Amino acid sequence: MPKQSGKRTGRLDKQTWLLLVVNGLFVTASALSGTFIGIYIWKASKDFILLGWFTLLTHVFMAITFWTAGYWAKKGQNGTCLRTGIGVSALFYGIVLLLGKKAAHYVWLLGLVQGAAVGLFWLAFNVVYFEATDAGNRDRFNGLTGVMGSLIGMAAPWSAGYLISKSTGESGYRIMFMISLGTFVAGVLVSFLLRNRKPQGRYNWGLPVRVWKVEQTPWRPVVGALAAQGLRESVFGVMIGLLVYIQTGSEMRLGNYALITSLVSFISFYAVGKWLKPRWRRAGMLVGVLAMTAVIVPFFFGVSYKTLLLFGVGTSLFIPLFTIPMTSSVFDLIGTRKESVQQRVEYVVLRELALNVGRIAGMAIFIITLAISKHPTVINSMLLFVGCSPFFSWLLMRGRLTAQHGHKIS
């Protein structure tokens, strides 16, 4: 059984705070260079579709890693799995440093390594997160994670953009990749303070498939909702930063953009994490998804720095209303029955596979759309279509946002 550390008070224990520190180091290293790795590949190739293939391969290998690494986590090696994920992330930037401008010719290798790294880290992180939190402190933990991510999102990309803009040639990028590599190494060292959990029995390899055979299982709509969430994440994760760079031609302006949007996100995550009660999740999530869709419409009147900033600020302001209820409700569902708690690794894998199915589908739509036409109206229509997907998450989750029952999958 996971530790019920904050059931009455909502407080977080030492292991939970340590998990936040490890997450902070991982997110910092990722934000420093991850914001610009797509720009780096695009500048070397000037090819949107190649960048799409890199992202698609990352999601494919991430999904494979989640499923196979679940066996490792089930054996109680969560800390080891977490460290390996951070270490492989360091390896990714080591490869980028070695390849230099030739990195664009090896997107298959970069996608494989990046996918494996992210899959290992987030599988272990989510399992430990579930074990260290409960329904009483989960929204608080998610709020703190969002606040920390927003603070890092303000400082790291801006600092990276400033350094790159003040450097000549590729030197700024290389320095940032080296700093990221070092930060990942620091994350590995800190992660040794996390405890491995006891083995949890035999790993159920087939649960993601068998879940569909259970009549009236609550996991069917949840899987669909997660896939819809992933659909939006992948496309907008690639497009927005790249569009900002193309419109401005400046890494510094991209850093400023990240600073502004992350500042708004920081305030919003703090407020939602503190004041959004479980009974308000359903209404709050609906407001969030409608607003997140509305801010895409200005693109049809022209893509500019102003419309991108409007989109970024609007999304940052309202996305916590979507992500906090979504994340908390899914993990609450895992924790509502003894049987699902015992299979928590498998359910975390199921969650991540569902998200990655959506991400892969989103990137496939992105690649196919750009292969057919690069006309602004076509691209904007694709963005609006993909951007509406959180509404389908809400439709599928609305019955779960206040529900507190689970279902056994054997």
| For residues 197-207, average pLDDT | 78
3-state DSSP call for residue 390?
helix
Query: Which domains are delineated in the chain?
Result: 14-397 (1.20.1250.20)
Residues 6+ apart with CB under 8 A from 100: 170, 174
- The mean-pLDDT minimum among 84-93, 106-115, 203-212 falls in 203-212
Residues 6+ apart with CB under 8 A from 381: none
Residue 314 token pair: 């609007």
- What percent of the chain clears pLDDT 70, i.e. is strictly above it? 93
Position 405 pLDDT exceeds 50: no
Q: What is the pLDDT of residues 64-74, one digit of tens each?
A: 998 998 888 88
Q: SS in 3 state form for 287-327?
A: HHHHHHHHCCHHHHHCCCHHHHHHHHHHHHHHHHHHHHHHH
Side chain identity at residue 36, one-letter code: F
Q: What is the pLDDT of residues 45-56, one digit of tens each?
A: 888 899 999 999
Q: What is the pLDDT of residues 321-378, one digit of tens each?
A: 998 888 888 888 887 777 777 888 888 889 999 999 999 999 999 999 999 998 889 9
| For residues 34-42, average pLDDT | 86
CA pair distance 19, 373, nearest whole angstrom: 44
Q: What is the pLDDT of residues 312-337, one digit of tens each?
A: 999 999 999 998 888 888 888 887 77
| For residues 193-201, average pLDDT | 72
Position 403 pLDDT exceeds 60: no
CA pair distance 410, 340, nearest whole angstrom: 9
| For residues 246-269, average pLDDT | 90
Helix extents (H) in 335-409: 338-342, 344-372, 376-387, 389-397
Phi, psi of 37 (to 5 degrees): -65, -35
